[in-house]
Structure 1
């Protein structure tokens, strides 16, 4: 059973910010304070879509909601996964404009009004990602930050663009017509949504003034897990749009690209430990993506979009 908590239960605002979370007690408060500190010159609220947290996340959100009626807590543990959490949150709200960001990142100043303004002109919009505020320099060297100065190129089909759900906005009517995020994806569900929007005739507007400061995974283990999931999502996307098998097609050539930086790191590791760590992290992340791409179970069958009869 879903539960919406907060002072204003009956009325939904013009704009809703949906923040999916699973065991995000360590980071969600910083994100929520950044959201609630936004300008109040438009009609908006924030919904935390909790996907079954067991680490005290709900208590953190409830405590903040006591002092701000614009914050709501929504139990979306019915179906697991970020795509499902976002879909369920949209279904259980009614705001015209829907914004998405993540619980472990931090929105920049005026993010909500920037995205809301852009949605008055375009049906789907994406803002800029920044990795300099929340990550030490060493970690910034480990990971390429996408979407810093424009949209990303979709993994498939060729020629289309995509954007991360870490900084994404969409009008409710378009989201409904697309039947939301496809819940078959472990990752890349945001790319798939963007692709389907473009195939339906929409263009994604980039909003450089709408900044989200993202947090990079800090360990090799967490980075490897994330990369593996990225690889699985990339394969699902390529398969869905008939672009071939991205894993088997270029697996060895891409993995071999990591050898040179690793060899270079071995030579300078004593003098440049940060450089060596960066090279190692780059290699591990690449390997994770590639192995995820060739994982036999990466692509599931059926239609995982909202409203599908095949959906679990």
Structure 2
């Protein structure tokens, strides 16, 4: 079975060498290729990639700059791929030794798999506290509806990817959640591969964390609008907006925001809920 590793890339010059170095050290007995899907980078990301063409088997760069977004970049990478199976990772993370073999072997048995997200190697303890991920296991996320995993460590049979039409390019975040749900709605189970480890890098500045929370909230409204008619329970209500507004207001009035950590948590909570409200208005989704 031939495997295609697909990496969406947008201005990742500061991090992509770490991921490519990790790929250069992967070992597997089966044929594989790596596709860098350039989503319109304006830095020197691609010149860094060029330096690895002699070290990573069948490394190619394809252009996906016609539309912004990681989902679209992955879809274009999948379209150009020659493999029977697709492995999705990100340009700012780092796969651990043995990752390729573990995911490749898993895809020889299952149609849809997810590896483990490890958070401590690339993130300081303070950053993990911002996101309240100190005790995260990095496993598949369970919720009220269907489980999901992040696209930074996801594998799928090419035929299944094509059958659902790939990632939803309209979703700039939580596109991986939507992807996992749509595949499972077809009756295909998401299998966990704990030995396939990817070290995940989180946003490390307040503005970046806030913007990501805002964007996530906005996209969640569209995600819920898509899946509510398909059986998803109500996971966002007007009561949650009211409750969050009261809590955030009291935190300010009671001077509970006293350091960078509490400020980061406050900003992300505010950004997330404000983004959800903005998304409900934008996408005409009534959270009742």
- With normalisation by structure 1, the TM-score equals 0.82
Secondary structure of the structure 2 residue equivalent to 1:246: coil
What number of residue pairs does the alignment pair up? 278
Structure 1 unaligned regions, length at least 5:
1-12, 270-275, 302-312
- Cα-to-partner distance string for 1:86-123 (whole Å, 9 max, x where unaligned): 00111112211100011011111111111111111211
Question: Could you say which residue in structure 1 is the equivalent of 2:11?
Answer: 23
1 CA distance for matches of 2:34 and 2:103?
14
Aligned to 1:207: 193
Asked if 1:77 corresponds to 2:65, the answer is: yes
Across the aligned residues of Structure 1 and Structure 2, the Cα RMSD in angstroms comes to 2.3
Change in Cα spacing, 1:160 to 1:73, as seen in structure 2 (3 Å) is same
Match of 1:33, SS?
helix
Q: Which of 244, 248, 267 is 1:284 aligned to? A: 267
Q: 1:152 aligns to what SS in structure 2?
A: coil
Give the direction of change, closer, same or farther, for the CA distance of 1:294–1:97 in structure 2 (3 Å limit).
same
Q: 1:299 to 1:36 in 2, by over 3 A?
A: farther
Q: Aligned residue for 1:188?
A: 174
SS in 1 for 2:110: coil
8 Å Cα contact 1:227/1:286 also seen in 2: yes
Q: 1:253 aligns with which of 243, 253, 263?
A: 243
Q: Tell me, which stretches of 5 or more residues in structure 2 are unaligned? A: none
Give the match's secondary structure for 1:83: helix
Aligned CA distance change for structure 1 residues 68 and 200 (closer, same or farther; 3 Å): closer
Aligned-pair distance for 1:42? 2.5
The CA deviation at 1:294 is 0.9
Q: 60-69 vs 40-49, which deviates more? A: 60-69
Offset at residue 259 of structure 1 (A): 6.0
How far does the alpha carbon of each residue in 1:217-275 deviate from its partner, in whole angstroms, 9 at most, with x for none? 11110001111111012111111112558263411213444567765745xx4xxxxxx
How far, CA to CA, are the matches of 1:68 and 1:100 in structure 2?
A: 16
Calculate the TM-score normalised by the size of structure 2. Answer: 0.89
Instruction: Classify the secondary structure of the residue corresponding to 1:35.
Output: helix
Asked if the contact 2:114/2:191 (under 8 Å) is kept, the reply is yes
SS at match of 2:241: helix
